[in-house]
């Protein structure tokens, strides 16, 4: 893949302000996103958001000036568990959902243990909310619940 030439994109936007231009690729932080937004209409975070999905929790505060605080990682996980409950009832396998939150605790204490619980248990037949609760307990520093996927 060739290196991204952001300056070229910026020049194109300056020449054609009527075009909506959104950059994607190699953007790893809000600081970088904010820098790009001074030149273009939007940015997309790919790998950065996948490796650390919590980066998205602060979008409203960091980029749009929202005053309410971002939810904590545990609050995000709690909301995800409510979502997962509905999807499980529809027949979606737990591991199809949890692969998108493996990095939720990226850079935090017990992140590796959180990922391990999900990696070892979410793919098992019958894996459900009990697996997510066990992973939550680990992330929160509580003793790990006994989990048996039925």
Instruction: Kindly report, residue by residue over 76-117, the tens digit of the pLDDT.
Output: 999 999 999 999 999 999 999 999 999 999 999 999 999 999
How many Cα atoms are found within 13 Å in the side-chain-facing hemisphere of 121?
22
Check residue 36 and give its pLDDT: 95
Average pLDDT, the chain: 91
Quote the pTM value: 0.79
**Gap between the Cα atoms of 92 and 36, Å rounded:** 37
**Gap between the Cα atoms of 38 and 141, Å rounded:** 41
Angle, helix 129-140 to helix 111-121, in steps of 10 degrees: 160
Sheet strands (E) in the chain = 22-24, 42-44
Query: Does residue 146 register a pLDDT over 50?
Result: no
Check residue 87 and give its pLDDT: 98
Check residue 1 and give its pLDDT: 65
Are 13 and 40 within 8 A, CB to CB?
yes
**Gap between the Cα atoms of 148 and 55, Å rounded:** 32
Query: Does residue 63 register a pLDDT over 90?
Result: no
| CATH topology classification for 73-140 | 1.20.120
Locate CATH 1.20.120.1460 in the chain.
Answer: 73-140
């Amino acid at each position: 893949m060739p290196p991204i030439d952001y300056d070229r994109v910026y020049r194109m936007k300056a020449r054609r302000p009527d075009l909506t231009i959104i950059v994607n690729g190699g953007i790893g932080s809000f600081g970088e996103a904010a820098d790009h937004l001074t030149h273009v209409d939007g940015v997309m975070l790919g790998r950065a958001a996948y490796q650390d999905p919590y980066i998205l929790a602060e979008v409203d505060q960091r980029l749009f000036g929202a005053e309410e605080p971002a939810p904590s990682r545990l609050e995000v996980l709690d909301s995800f568990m409510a979502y997962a409950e509905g999807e499980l009832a529809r027949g979606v396998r737990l591991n199809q959902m949890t692969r998108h939150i493996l990095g939720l605790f990226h850079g935090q204490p017990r992140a590796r243990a959180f990922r391990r619980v999900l990696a070892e248990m979410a793919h098992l037949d019958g894996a459900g909310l009990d697996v997510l609760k066990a992973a939550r307990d680990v992330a929160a520093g509580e003793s790990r619940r006994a989990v048996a996927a039925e």
